[in-house]
C-alpha cells in the first residue's frame, strides 16, 4: 500500500504527519498509572489507513506506532526521557 501511495504522489510520511499538522503531539500525562494504548487520533488514522486499503491495522497498533515514531509523546511529566 505504501508503494501504491507513492505511485499516486502521496508519501506515507506526509500522510502520517498530516494527521498531527506536522508537529509532534505532546499529551503530557500526569502519571504513569495507565498506559495509553487507545488514542482517539489512532482511531482516526486507522480508519483513514483502512480506507486507503491497508489491512491488519488497528487502533492499538497505530497508537504504539505513533508513539514509537515520535509523532505522539506519551511520556508522563516526570519521566527522565521527556
Q: What is the DSSP letter of 32?
A: S
In contact, 24 and 82? CB cutoff 8 Å: no
Confidence band, pLDDT 50/70/90 cuts, at residue 1: confident
Grid cell locating 9:
504522489
Is residue 20 within 8 A of residue 41, CB to CB? The reply is yes
Q: What is the mean pLDDT of residues 54-60?
A: 91
Whether 76 and 32 have beta carbons less than 8 Å apart is answered as: yes
Confidence band, pLDDT 50/70/90 cuts, at residue 19: very high
> Which run of H or of E encompasses 26?
strand 25-26
| Mean pLDDT estimate for the chain | 85
DSSP-derived 3-state class of residue 72: strand
Amino acid at each position: 500500500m505504501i508503494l501504491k501511495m507513492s505511485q499516486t504522489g502521496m508519501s506515507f510520511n506526509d500522510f502520517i504527519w498530516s494527521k498531527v499538522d506536522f508537529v509532534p503531539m505532546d499529551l503530557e500525562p500526569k502519571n504513569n498509572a495507565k498506559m495509553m494504548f487507545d488514542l482517539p487520533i489512532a482511531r482516526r488514522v486507522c480508519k483513514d489507513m483502512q480506507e486507503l486499503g491497508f489491512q491488519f491495522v488497528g487502533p492499538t497498533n497505530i497508537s504504539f506506532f505513533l508513539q514509537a515514531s515520535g509523532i505522539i509523546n506519551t511520556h508522563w511529566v516526570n519521566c527522565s526521557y521527556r
